[in-house]
């Protein structure tokens, strides 16, 4: 169902929550509090902006991102569902990378504004695209909340079918940094990871923070802990706390892969890194009929 701006603002608009026309003519929700602003496109339920008042943007967005209805947005927080990366196996032979949730317009379910807290809840149920790729019954409910200057994300998956439902999920968050070559990630010491740059070889992280000296694409397993991005370039630390997520992905494309992506600038890779809250690979989720699984992340910053 097409949602017009007049309809959206008439039904859901209020002080601190409004709907606007974004790039490509696509609608987005703007959440505003005394601490900052967040933009959430209905296309893909995609958070494209999280800015704290008077501070540099917390999220990275590619200047080359394609704001098209049949394409995913590059940067911000893509919602990955129901598979992560290339589908394995791919029974239809045309499954899009990272699933279909980021390619679909979600429906606005509700908005809330109380004090210095603003939120929007979006929903996705089976549609023509999902049925053609993945013939299962489900409901996704995604609540994006700006609590002062803290961003909270809650992705809930409900199995509305009569059989068990297995899926992968990720909040593929792109963070803005001054220079990734001087940034590091703490919170994953002594964990095992799959190195996607080395044929998914299983490796062990030592006690030191993760640094970046080349293409990095790692799936950290059996880890539920908080990660902290140390960013001396922007003189801050970004804290990523999560719930009901058993894996964390750390990614930067570096030089060659950045050049190979049509929706990513050749020289943008130093200004970003991804720390992704997810349940993927051996941590894929299986839900009984009628059950709901909720994965949450809380993103805040600390000045250095």
Tokens of 242: 């999560």
- The mean pLDDT value of the chain amounts to 97
The percentage of the chain sitting over the pLDDT mark of 70, rounded to a whole number, equals 99
- CB-count burial class (<10 Å; 0-12, 13-18, 19+) for 139: middle
Answer yes or no: are the C-beta atoms of 70 and 128 closer than 8 Å: no
Q: Other CB atoms closer than 10 Å to residue 299's CB: what's the count?
A: 24
pLDDT-derived band at 304 (thresholds 50, 70, 90) equals low
Phi, psi of 9 (to 5 degrees): -70, -35
- How far, in Å, CA of 181 to CA of 195, rounded? 19
Active site (annotated) includes residue 276 = yes
Q: Is 122 exposed, middle or buried (0-12, 13-18, 19+ CB in 10 A)?
A: buried
Whether omega before 82 lies within 30 degrees of 0, making that bond cis, reads yes
The model's pLDDT over 19-45, given as tens digits with 9 standing for 90+, comes to 999 999 999 999 999 999 999 999 999
Residue 265's pLDDT is 97
**Per residue in 150-163, is it b (16+ CB within 10 Å) or e — as a string?**
bbbbbbbbbbbeee
All structural domains of the chain with their residue ranges: 5-303
Q: What is the pLDDT of residues 159-173, one digit of tens each?
A: 999 999 999 999 999
Read off the pLDDT band of 1 (50, 70, 90).
Answer: low
Per-residue pLDDT at 278 exceeds 70: yes
Instruction: Find the length of the chain.
Output: 304
* Residues 119, 146 contacting (CB under 8 angstroms): yes
Cα distance between residue 257 and residue 276, in whole Å: 18
User: pTM of the entire structure?
Assistant: 0.97
pLDDT digits (tens, 9 = 90+) for 208-241: 999 999 999 999 999 999 999 999 999 999 999 9
Topology classification of domain 5-303: Beta-galactosidase; Chain A, domain 5 (2.70.98)
Task: Name the catalytic one among 172, 190, 241, 293.
Answer: 172
Query: For position 3, what pLDDT does the model report?
Result: 81
CA atoms within a 13 Å half-sphere pointing along the CA-CB vector of 11: 13
Q: Specify whether 172 is catalytic.
A: yes
Q: Tokens 């299983």 label which residue?
A: 202
Query: Active-site residue among 105, 168, 268, 276?
Result: 276
**pLDDT tens for each residue of 109-155:** 999 999 999 999 999 999 999 999 999 999 999 999 999 999 999 99
- Find the helix or strand (DSSP H, E) in which 49 lies: strand 46-52
Instruction: Round to whole Å and give the CA distance between 75 and 83.
Output: 19
Residue pLDDT, tens place only, 181-191 = 999 999 999 99
User: What DSSP string describes 103-129?
Assistant: GSBPEEEEEEEETTEEEEEEEE---HH
């Amino acid at each position: 169902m097409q949602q017009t701006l007049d309809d959206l603002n008439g039904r859901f608009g209020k002080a601190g929550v409004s709907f606007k026309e974004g790039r490509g003519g696509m609608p987005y929700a703007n959440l505003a509090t005394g601490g900052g602003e967040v933009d959430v496109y209905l296309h893909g339920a995609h958070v494209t902006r999280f800015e704290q008042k008077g501070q540099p943007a917390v999220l990275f967005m590619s200047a080359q991102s394609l704001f098209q209805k049949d394409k995913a947005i590059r940067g911000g927080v893509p919602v990955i569902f129901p598979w992560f990366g290339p589908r394995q196996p791919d029974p239809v032979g045309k499954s899009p990378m990272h699933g279909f949730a980021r390619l679909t317009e979600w429906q606005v379910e509700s908005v809330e504004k109380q004090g210095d807290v603003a939120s929007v809840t979006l929903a996705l149920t089976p549609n023509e695209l999902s049925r053609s790729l993945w013939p299962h019954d489900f409901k996704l409910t995604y609540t994006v909340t700006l609590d002062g200057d803290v961003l909270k994300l809650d992705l809930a998956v409900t199995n509305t079918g009569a059989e068990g439902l297995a899926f992968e999920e990720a909040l593929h968050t792109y963070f803005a940094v001054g220079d990734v070559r001087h940034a590091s990630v703490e919170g994953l010491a002594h964990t095992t990871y799959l190195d996607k740059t080395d044929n998914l070889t299983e490796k062990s992280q030592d006690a030191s923070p993760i640094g970046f000296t080349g293409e990095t694409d790692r799936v950290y397993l059996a880890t539920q802990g908080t990660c902290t991005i140390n960013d001396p370039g922007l003189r801050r630390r970004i804290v990523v706390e999560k719930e009901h997520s058993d894996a964390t992905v750390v990614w930067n494309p570096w030089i060659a892969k950045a050049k190979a992506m049509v929706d990513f600038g050749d020289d943008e890779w130093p200004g970003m890194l991804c720390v992704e809250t997810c349940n993927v690979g051996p941590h894929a989720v299986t839900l009984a009929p009628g059950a709901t699984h909720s994965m949450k992340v809380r993103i805040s910053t600390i000045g250095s």
